[in-house]
A and B are shown apart, each in its own frame.
Chain A
Amino acid sequence: MSNANDFEPSIVAFCCWWCAYGAADLAGISKLDYPTNVRIVRVPCTGRVDALHILRAFEEGADGVIVAGCLKDGGCHYVDGNMKAERRVTGLKRSLEAIGLGDQRLEMYFMSAGMPDKFVQSVTQFTEGIRKLGPSPIGRK
């Protein structure tokens, strides 16, 4: 098992095409720094992210999962996909807590395509949180 000091978490981020992925893209163009631990999966809308996708990521050994979508209250390109995703994430966090994985390994963030700073800040904060928590008890395959 790796030392706590050199633990590099692997984090899966489901980012929506219209906002969060745009923000990540803009962060890249603006040459902003953010942790390389984040693997971005582009989805058409966070409403597309199924609870099974998230569970599957944990099963395959992700230490943390981010779902990042558009701003609340009408920011979603598909009207309310991000709100659906938020309810799913809330429900799933409770299940993850109950099975003993903890509810801090899954988080939902909201941002618009013009907010690269928000994206960088969110993923940095989340990665640091996971780094403190340590590797996922499920381990890697």
Chain B
Amino acid sequence: MKRIATVSLMSDAGCHIALANLEEKLLELAENVEITHCQILRDEKKIPKNIDVALVEGAVRTDHDLEILSKLRDNSKTLVAFGSCACFGGVPSLCNLTNINELITYVYHQTATTSSGPTPSKNLPLLVERVRPIGELVRIDYMIPGCIPEEKEILGVISAALEGVPFELPRENVCEECQKERKGSLSKDIKRNYENLSDLSRCLLELGYLCVGPSTRAGCGARCPSFNIPCDGCRGPIDARWDQGVSMLDSLAAVAKERMRGFSLKTHSAIFHRYSFASSALQRLISNLDTRKEEM
């Protein structure tokens, strides 16, 4: 019987919820495999040995995450990056735009709900210098992008990983699946998501909403745009060599006159790189700059 393990690094356990949400299909799966490590099913602290398929949720934020990840890689035959945090860094990687000390000060002293006190330091894992997707640190065999991942892809990747055959993710963008009508004329100004939607049938980007569909991998059936919510790019770039946010900025800058004025790096990264900042070209430049500063 094949052995499956799931772990969660820095994440909100949403991908495990997606796994639990498989319902009866999870029971069918559990008949044929042994689930050796899974925080939502059994209380187990140690990483077991001889794992066939390991699902890793979340990005690497602390040295504890790093240790779990390397141990899991050593103990498993196949490793799957489960969800956008594991694949591209996810929403938490946006904190790479901030200095780590500022981050700690903000979290422990400055948020509205924090009561003042010393910064906790005892018995805690240390933070690594920046949030990294797991693919930067260990070899990954399969990817399940999405926040949260699609049911068909979770099942597809798990069964492909058990059999050891490749699994192809869609190579189109979200616009290919989107039913909205495109007329080729663009609104001059940018609208925020809460602003009034005038035409329900038109492409949201053309109406001025910042929809990241054009640079995001398809496979979700354009779920958000079909409910009149702009795509926020949770499934990441179509190709790992691409940069989701920069391509978006690029195309918008080319078509919309003066549209992007007043957009700071933090604003556009939070919109266009929301799920993939840690694997973007800007992140590579920033980390190169940082290492050079340390050397000097």
Contacts and interface: CB of A to CB of B under 8 A. Distances in A.
A43 B247 CA distance: 18
Contacts of A47: 254
B282 A99 contact: yes
Interface in A107-141: 137-139
B253 interface: yes
Nearest to A1: B296
A20 B257 CA distance: 24
Contacts of B281: 52, 55-56, 59
Contacts of B285: 55, 58-59, 99, 101, 138
A87 B282 contact: no
B243 A52 contact: yes
A56, A95, A100: most-surrounded residue (chain B CB, <10 A):
A95
Determine the interface band of chain A, counting residues with CB < 8 A from chain B.
20 to 34
Nearest to B259: A87
A41 interface: no
Contacts of B264: 94, 98
B292 A139 contact: yes
A87 B257 contact: yes
A46 to B, nearest CB: 11
Nearest to A56: B281
A140 to B, nearest CB: 11
A47 to B, nearest CB: 7
Nearest to B262: A94
Interface residues of B, number: 26
Interface string A54-76: 01101100000000000000000
Given A55-B281, A84-B254, A139-B292, A91 B249 contact: yes
B254 A55 contact: no
A139 B288 contact: yes
Contacts of A50: 247, 250
Contacts of B246: 51-52, 55
Given A59-B281, A99-B286, A138-B285, A91 B265 contact: no
B282 A95 contact: yes
A92 to B, nearest CB: 8
Contact of B265 (A52, A90, A94): A94
Contacts of A42: none
11 contacts: A51-B247, A51-B249, A88-B253, A91-B263, A94-B264, A95-B249, A99-B265, A99-B289, A101-B289, A138-B285, A138-B289
Given A84-B253, A94-B265, A139-B292, 16 more contacts: A1-B296, A47-B254, A51-B246, A52-B243, A55-B285, A56-B281, A88-B253, A90-B253, A91-B249, A91-B260, A98-B264, A99-B289, A100-B289, A101-B285, A138-B285, A139-B288
Interface of A: 1, 47, 50-52, 55-56, 58-59, 84, 87-88, 90-92, 94-95, 98-101, 137-139
